[in-house]
Amino acid sequence: MRLKKIILHNIRSYLEVEVDFPDGSLLLSGETGSGKSSILLGIEFALFGLGKGKDGISGDALLRRGKDEGFIQLFFDIDGMEIEIKRNLRRQAGKTQQLGGYIRINGKLEKLSPDEIRTRVLQLFNYPLEFIKKGKGLPFHYTVYTQQEQMKAILLEGADLRLDTLRRVFGIDRYKIIKENSEIFLSALREKVKQKEGAISDLPEKTDQFKFQQQEKEKNKSELEKIEPELKKAKQGLSKKRTEIEELEKKIEGARKTKERLSAKKAEIKGKQERIAREEEELNSLEEEIKQIEVEGKKFDEKELLTANEKLKKFGENIRKNEVEIRNLIRALSKAESKKDSASVLKEKIRKVEVCPECGQKVTEEHKKEIEEKASKEIISAESKIKEIQNLKKQQEEEKSEQEKEEEQLESIQQEQRELKIKAENLKEKFDRKKRLEQEKKILQEKVKESEKMAAELEVSLRKAADVEADYQKKRKEFETVREHEKELEIKKAGFEKMLENLSSQLELLDEEIKRKEKHKEDMLYLKDLREWLSGNFAEIIMKIEQSVLAALHSQFDSSLKKWFSMLIEEPEITVRLEPDFSPVVEQAGFDTEYSHLSGGERTAVALAYRLALNQVINSLISQIKTRDILILDEPTEGFSHLQLDKMRNVLRELNLKQLIIISHNPKIESFVDNVIKVRKEGHVSKISGQ
């Protein structure tokens, strides 16, 4: 991992600042309270978000007073991946909360919740899964950045508390958890064994029940085997009786058809006899009609019919001529009346006219009189013409009426002669019809005789089949008796088969249950063996493994602690060693000295050596993590003498890290590092210089 840049907006004493992190060693220099630690807190917040509990970072501590919103952007790379993280803060109702943010990897943006960003960071750092689940970035706090006061607090803790803390840091608290879980598991095993014992308590009873039901099954099987031959025999007898009945039914069916045929023949004879009677009636009727037609046919006169036709033709032509004359007279009458009306109108009009409408001259009385006389003459002439036309019209109408009467009489004569002609023509048809009826009557009489003969034969056949019905009823009773016996045997067989099916099903269920209980028994014996092994050997093995791991870690930790302490202390007679509980003990002039009795510089040296030793042990223990090449030290030289400060140069050189960030207000450290960023505060606002 390599830090590249951080942007703080409304964070603690910063309004807006951008800090670049170069490769190599970097010193954040400035007076106490200038804002150096705020940058480191910003890095931790960007990576892991707000913390929980007394050691976590609170939102109120980060967001600048008087501001409602703020954010931090952190830029870094891991194995060539360019990563950017942004986290936001907002103050609402007097409480500061972290909002959702994002993580951008090689330009690909992921909008995430605060917890999702934290989990993603821990995955990028390649921290073991158990550290991700613990809820804190423990490897980061003890390998990259730990506030100096927190490290001193570890040294001042009680032995048990310190050992538990280091167990979590080293990841070997799992052995303690394993022991605790094994006790829980043992309790569960004991409960499971009790359950298994309860589950197999009735195993002997189930086994006896299985044997009993097997015996019952064999008995039912034996009874079924006895019934089957008897049932087979009954079925054969039933089949024979059914065949006999079917034969009789065929005979009965034949008799029934014979009876139907007899009924049909009788109906046929009756129908033919009725038809003969109808034809005799029709023949009698025909003879009467023929006689009547022969009498009326003599009245028909062909000449009279032709004469009537000719006269009717002439009358028709005359009537049509009269109608034309009448229409012409009506038109002439209409013209004469129109002429009379025009003269009358003119006569009346001329009396009232004073001035001529055409020439505009005054009309004289002589002229009026002349016109009136002329009009009167025209009226008289028209009236005479009208009277003449009316007389002619009346004559034509009377003549037409006479002709129509004569025409009507002729049409009556014509119709009468036509009807007589038709009757005369129908006489031959009547004779032909009479001849056909006589032939049909003869044929029907012959067929009646044939049908009566066949009916007599059918009646004889029916009398012969009369005994079949009685035999059928007898065989039917025998069939029903055999069938009842067969049904009883079928019911018995079905009962035994159902019993066998139920017994087989019960035996199958019992067999499965017994197998399950036997499996429970096997499981119970296995669980008992497992319980005995866990309660005996396993606990001892876990304890030895834990002791072995702790011993190896203790040896590595002790060696590293001595190395770093010897580089920081100028007095060779002062040494340090690590107790079995990982407590550092300083030996001075052959005597052990408590940590609290050391000078400020010596306590800082012990804390820094412990910090660097812890860093090396964790990095070697968790070799796959991606934060091995960066270290952040917070006031690592507090209380150091000038000689100790000089030794600090060798410590930094020995660390040989790609990126080292130091917070200190000691100006001498500036000569030990590659880059310096100075932080100062102006009017409650932190600012930086030196970039």
Does position 474 have pLDDT exceeding 90, yes or no?
A: no
Give pLDDT, residue 163: 67
The two beta strands, 675-682 and 24-30, are parallel
Give pLDDT, residue 101: 94
Give pLDDT, residue 76: 96
570-580, pLDDT tens digit by residue? 777 788 888 88
Give pLDDT, residue 442: 78
Top-ranked range on mean pLDDT: pick from 11-20, 520-529, 593-602: 11-20
Rg for the chain (alpha carbons), in Å?
Answer: 71
Ranking 225-229, 271-275, 522-526 by mean pLDDT, the lowest is 271-275
Does position 74 have pLDDT exceeding 80, yes or no?
A: yes
Top-ranked range on mean pLDDT: pick from 51-55, 136-140, 148-152, 585-589: 585-589
Ranking 116-120, 133-137, 376-380, 643-647 by mean pLDDT, the lowest is 133-137
Instruction: Choose between 455 and 501: higher pLDDT.
Output: 501
Q: Identify the three-state secondary structure at position 121.
A: helix
Give pLDDT, residue 15: 94
* Structural contact between residues 644 and 637, judged by C-beta atoms closer than 8 angstroms: yes
What percent of the chain has pLDDT above 70? 80
Does position 666 have pLDDT exceeding 80, yes or no?
A: yes
Output the six-digit token pair for 9: 């907006």
Instruction: Give the residue-averaged pLDDT of 158-167.
Output: 64
C-alpha–C-alpha distance, residues 203 and 206, integer Å: 5
Ranking 17-21, 318-322, 353-357, 574-578 by mean pLDDT, the lowest is 353-357
Residue 58 DSSP label: P
Instruction: Choose between 350 and 144: higher pLDDT.
Output: 144
Q: What is the DSSP string of 124-184?
A: HTT--HHHHHTTS-HHHHHHTEE-HHHHHHHHHS-HHHHHHHHHHHHT-HHHHHHHHHHHH
Does position 356 have pLDDT exceeding 80, yes or no?
A: no
Give pLDDT, residue 359: 63
Instruction: Choose between 299 and 688: higher pLDDT.
Output: 688
* Structural contact between residues 269 and 454, judged by C-beta atoms closer than 8 angstroms: no
C-alpha–C-alpha distance, residues 620 and 615, integer Å: 9
Give pLDDT, residue 81: 95
Q: Identify the three-state secondary structure at position 49.
A: coil
Ranking 87-101, 176-190, 424-438, 491-505 by mean pLDDT, the lowest is 424-438
Does position 4 have pLDDT exceeding 80, yes or no?
A: yes
Give pLDDT, residue 136: 47
**Which of these, 686, 687, 685, 689, lies nearest to 675 by C-alpha position?**
689
Q: What is the DSSP string of 458-510?
A: HHHHHHHTHHHHHHHHHHHHHHHHHHHHHHHHHHHHHHHHHHHHHHHHHHHHH
Give pLDDT, residue 299: 55
Number of H helices, E strands in the chain: 15, 15
Give pLDDT, residue 88: 95
Ranking 218-227, 306-315, 390-399, 604-613 by mean pLDDT, the lowest is 306-315
Give pLDDT, residue 156: 65
Mean confidence (pLDDT) of the chain: 79
Domains of the chain, first to last: 2-156+569-689 (3.40.50.300), 299-423 (1.10.287.510)
Does position 360 have pLDDT exceeding 70, yes or no?
A: no
The CA–CA distances, whole Å, from 501 to 210, 232, 489, 494, 513 equal 15, 21, 18, 10, 18
Give pLDDT, residue 169: 65
pTM: 0.51
